Structure 1
Amino acid sequence: MENLARLGGADMERRQLVTSAAYSVAAAALPLGAAEELTERIGTARRRGVAGAAEIDAVRNMTSLFVTLDERHGGQHGRSAVVQYLRSDVVDLCRARFATEEKHHEALAVAACLAYLCGWKAYDAHEHGLAQHYYLQAYALTREAADEVHGAWILRILAHNGMDVRRPEHTLDLAEAALARVRGRLAPPAEALFAVTRARALAVAGRGPEAVRQLRAAQDLVLRGEPDELPYWAALWGPPRGTLASHTAKTFHTLGDHANAERHYALSSRYRPGSTHRRIAALSLISQGREQSALGRLEAACDTWGRSLDLLEGVRSARAVDAVAGIRRQLGVFRHRGVQTAADLDERARNWLGTHRPPRHI
């Protein structure tokens, strides 16, 4: 818990050493074989007061609110407020005395959710080393709470993080460890989210036929049971069918199957509408347009990209800035050929970028 408080403090103060930390392949492997090194023994920490269900519910409700704001307005909106809340109220809650060990574990679990959100916001700002530190702290909290299934969710996150930053060295091991820990212990729609992670990792590892078989298994799982049969820490991030569609699309993109990737990106934005998930819906549309462009469907791609720009008004996200810059790169060849639709859309994208501060590396 002391490490988490220090990490949040460094993040709040925007210390260069922390915010510019590089993603570590070695650290990605820690949960696979050296988890004890991550686990803090909170029992030796300073305790304050007596806490219970009401205090835990308050943190859970605040976390849900912060996630809703993140999805609608982007990771840089309210980031300082989230980190401050973690390092003050939530750290204090986890240091408190509880009537039962079960309640103490619940407090650690909600702290893990908020630590993950802080990592997600760092990731959305392209601060990948900082994001990884938060994820590892979240994993440590699930270990302290003795919650193997919640811990598997963090392993799944670490797997996707490695693939997203193109450092996949341990991602298949992480994905397989996560799936093994939850198999048969969660409702099928929740287990599907772990299965599709393994599918994506298999595709990244060059094991295409296995990836497709795993995708089929994931799609079968998500159709069984009710969509809302998710633990709190998974339900925070939207409907399972939307998440499954998004990662299925990424898997097909890795396999070079643009038609299936395009279809599943469309499903992803349908299941996670822009009214509640503006950033992810917009990013899914941008990716869908990329696949349409690869299929030679420029007019459809321009229409899709135009809808994404509608959703991105007011969204503060470095990933969104990168994605819109990517639209301009893809439009470049058509713009130079005098295609008016491409020129008009490129002007919209240029104007959007002009009103959103780009990350330093662009």
Structure 2
Amino acid sequence: MGRSKQPNTALAVVVNDSGLSATEIARRLNDVAASVGLERASFDHTSVARWLRGEHPRPRTVELLAVVLSEAAGRSITPADVGMGGATVRTDAGLVFDQSLEGSLATIADLIGGDIRSQRFLSAAAFLPSAFTTPVLRWITAPPARTPHSLVGIGEARAVRKVARTFRDLDNKFGGGYARSTVVHYLHSEVVPLLRSARWREATGQELFSASAELMLLVGWMSFDTAQHSLAQRYLIQALRLAQEAGDTKLGAEVLNAMSCVTARLGHPAEAVDLARAARRSAIEASLPTLVSESLALEAHGHALGDDSASCAASLLGAEQALDRANLVDSPEWLRYFDTRYLAAKASRALLDAGDARSAAAAAAYSLQMRGGYARGRAFNLTLLAHANAALGEVEQACHIGSMALNAGRTMHSARTRADLAALVNALKPYESKAAVRGLMRTISASVNAGPAVPALPADRSPTQTLGSSAQ
């Protein structure tokens, strides 16, 4: 490692903006390094002092330093921003909502390539609600999508749709971690080259963009389900950009709904409400009441987390009224999961967080009448019901339903499933003196430590193999 002749003023400015001391930066850097497998990292305040004087650490350290400073500053910090632009991975990969098609496709290629090569690094980056602001604004204010011209056939677009449908089914059955790596490799090897090399003709290009956006949205959900929150954010931003290029207002609204859901679950209620309202605006524009209902349900959850029970109730009523007006048969295929039982599950979560455990239990019980094929959703809904039972003091019932939820989730590669079970354990802790509670806690702990009962698909598995797999 060499020394530059001048102090690193760029780093000094960012450090000042972060509000962190050199000791705090070093401590957080050690934590992030350990989270990505660099267990021998031993940075201290003198390390930071050397960098401020102009010494450059290894590129890997620069990448992680940018992650730490991004989280503290509340915005994306790149290696170039700290005067160390030689790092191999851009910390803002996928966060940019580029207005040019060429720039967008380059951004998507960088994100997917970085995911394949440096997944642990991108996973360690901070989730920043503010990173959604510019994409949403550009989605709302962009002019109508132009009609592209293409030589690519409609068959390619339909193939991408078919792959998205297959992996969506597997995601619902086994959780996001089961096939996420396989889908990312498919995007990298098949979809991105197709998008970058084709010249569009008539509606074919729009169909391919829309199908690709659908697949990108799925990877965003898979990333969120595996607790890779920064990656989820990046894929959702790029899914919105592709939906914009396709002129697909319906799918764009669905992406905004996903952004709201992720943001709420990560503890940012005000931003979740804003995103849900943006989604509702697009859903109304698309004349799709089912999407309007979903947006209102997500808005209700944001209000609940923000301790606004009156607004939560009003939004839930609006969601029910919108769904009453919907023709579910006419919903796009990717939205057909949303029906009265799914709305009940969303309502249950909002009501539980709003403190109305009795109504939450009733809604969760109704949600269990859901259609087949949604194994993870069933595990979620069972856990919700058990949690509501625990909040009502119905401990034996909570343990019984909790055991059912645990059994339903044994095959799941899903951090969300595990997080919901952990929340149930916390809800039952006041009753830890009861044998049934202690038994359930031990069983949950053993199951989580054992991991999923079904192994994940290998990263390089061909989608063609999967289409014919018995896992379906």
* TM-score, length-scaled by structure 1: 0.87
Q: Percent identity?
A: 26
Residue from 78, 95, 118 that aligns with 2:219:
118
Aligned length, in residue pairs: 347
Q: Is the 8 A contact 1:324 1:349 kept in 2?
A: yes
Considering only CA atoms, is the larger Rg found in Structure 1 or Structure 2? 2
Q: Which residue of 1 aligns with 2:312?
A: 211
Equivalences for 1:342-353 in 2 at 5 Å? 342-353=437-448
Alpha-carbon distance between aligned partners in 2 of 1:270 and 1:231, rounded to the nearest angstrom: 22
Correspondence for 1:242:
341
Moved more, 74-83 or 186-195: 186-195
What amino acid maps onto 1:355 in structure 2? A
| Residues in 2 aligned to 1:38 and 1:185: alpha-carbon distance in whole angstroms | 15
Alpha-carbon distance between aligned partners in 1 of 2:118 and 2:381, rounded to the nearest angstrom: 30
Following superposition, the deviation at residue 34 of structure 1 comes to 4.1
Q: What secondary structure sits across from 1:77 in the alignment?
A: coil
Mapping of 1:115-264 within 5 angstroms? 115-183=216-284, 185-235=286-336, 238-264=337-363
Q: Once the 2 structures are TM-superposed, how far is the Cα of residue 287 of structure 1 from its aligned partner?
A: 1.8
Residue 148 (structure 1) shift: 2.7
Q: Which runs of 5+ in 1 are unaligned?
A: 358-362
Q: What's the CA shift for 1:79?
A: 1.5
The answer to whether residue 374 in structure 2 is matched with residue 270 in structure 1 is no
Matches of 2:376 and 2:246 in 1, distance apart? 32
Secondary structure of 1:91's aligned partner: helix
Deviation at 1:14, TM superposition (A): 3.6
Other-structure match for 1:81: 182
114-123 or 206-215, which moves further after superposition?
206-215
Q: Which residue of 1 aligns with 2:154?
A: 53
Q: Which amino acid aligns with 1:139?
A: L
The Cα shift of 1:294 comes to 0.5
Change in CA separation of 1:167 and 1:96 when aligned onto 2, cut-off 3 Å: same
SS in 2 for 1:166: coil
Q: Which residue of 2 aligns with 1:7?
A: 111
Change (3 A) 1:138 1:11: same
Of 173-182 and 348-357, the range deviating more from structure 2 = 348-357
Q: Does 1:28 align with 2:132?
A: yes
Structure 2 counterpart SS, 1:13: helix
> Partners in 2 of 1:295 and 1:267 — Cα distance?
17
Shift of the alpha carbon at 1:42? 12
Q: 1:36 to 1:13 in 2, by over 3 A?
A: farther
Greater RCO structure (CA 8 Å; 6+ sep): 1
Query: Which residue in the other structure is 1:360 paired with?
Result: none
- Tell me: CA distance 1:202–1:351, structure 2 relative to 1, closer, same or farther (3 Å): closer
**1:173-212 deviations in Å (ceiling 9; x for gaps):** 2211221222263343343112222222333344322321
Provide, for residues 29-80 of structure 1, a one-character-per-residue CA deviation record: whole Å limited to 9, x for no partner.
12332459999x9999xx9x93222111111111111011111111110111
1:166 corresponds to which letter in structure 2? G
Which residue, 269, 290, 293 being the options, matches 2:390?
Answer: 293
2:123 paired with 1:19: yes
- Asked if the contact 1:135–1:158 (Cα under 8 Å) also holds between the matched residues in 2, the reply is yes
- Cα distance change, pair 194–71 in 1 and its aligned pair in 2 (3 A): same
CA distance in 2 between counterparts of 1:56 and 1:281 reads 31
RMSD: 2.7
CA deviations over 1:60-116 (Å, ceiling 9, x no partner): 111111011111111110111110111221112323436633110111111111111
